[in-house]
Amino acid sequence: MGSLLMLVWLAAGDASPAAEGCPEYRAALAEGEEREASFDDLAAAAAYRHALLLDPEAVEARIGLARALNAIGEAEAGPEAAGRFERARRLAEGLRELRPDEPDGHYWVAASLGNLVSLRDGPEKVRLAREIDAAARRALSIDPCFAPAYVVLGISYRELSGLGWFVRGIAGGLFGGLPKGGIEDAERLLRLAVDLDPDDPFARYQLALTLERRKRPREAMAQLREAIDRPPRAVRDVRLQAEAMGRLARLAVENPWPVRLDRP
């Protein structure tokens, strides 16, 4: 998930010693970043993969490839998407092992699982939700201002709030229960993300969905407008902004502003 905080971190990134002395690595990394900026995630993934072949422990390339794989998977469906998310998760887990005291590996584990959980059902969804909760919370314990982790947690809590009693029973019996978060927590976390990174259209769109779920359409419409007005940072944002326009039009029809008949 792209964010201003992530881009700042990458700009100041600490490449490994091997990468620092390898012009070919730096060129591959730069190509990945350029392709990603032009929303060509397939080419970005190829460039980051090449960079990792040159330096398997390079932090920047590992993050870039995890991000690109998630972006590609979000535009796909079924087994193809699941395969992208699984590869992104493995990359993130490797990063977490390399840098356990930095938030990025923990966050990308949570983000990759957050994409994967939508393709799973029943007990597997519950198990992944618990892993998402643990990874995102660990990222935030390291850096409380890491906005994307609040987004992942907020989405997870919102979706968990809609699970039925049967799945909740399975969660209690097999996994010790669901993460302790409801729809109110989802809104709070997403508002924190928006406060930390106001120009992230993805965070605002997710906040709008949460407000709509909470039966507050006017507030949802305001966040949809904000999401549409922000420059897209990834292909996902372009797609969600198109969806936001359709959702906004529907909500406007369903919730017209009251007309004052006593105006002069």
On whether residue 101 sits in a domain, the answer given is: yes
On whether residue 222 sits in a domain, the answer given is: no
Q: Across the chain, what does the average pLDDT equal? A: 86
Percent of the chain with pLDDT over 90: 72
Domain count, the chain: 1
Residue 88 maps to which CATH number?
Answer: 1.25.40.10
On whether residue 262 sits in a domain, the answer given is: no
On whether residue 215 sits in a domain, the answer given is: no
On whether residue 143 sits in a domain, the answer given is: yes
Global pTM reads 0.84
On whether residue 237 sits in a domain, the answer given is: no
Structural domain that includes position 69: 4-10+18-197
On whether residue 136 sits in a domain, the answer given is: yes
Concatenating the DSSP letter of every residue in 150-164 gives: HHHHHHHHHHHTT--
Residue 54: is its pLDDT beyond 90? yes
Q: What is the DSSP letter of 256?
A: P
Q: Which of 261, 252, 257, 147 is nearest to 206 (CA)?
A: 147
Degrees, nearest 5: CA angle 85-117-62: 25
Measured over the CA atoms of residue 157, residue 161, residue 162 and residue 163, the dihedral's sign is positive
Task: For residue range 129-142, list pLDDT tens digits in order.
Answer: 889 999 999 999 99
CA distance 55 to 164: 46
Looking at 1-10, 89-98, 191-200, which range is the least confident one? 1-10
On whether residue 96 sits in a domain, the answer given is: yes
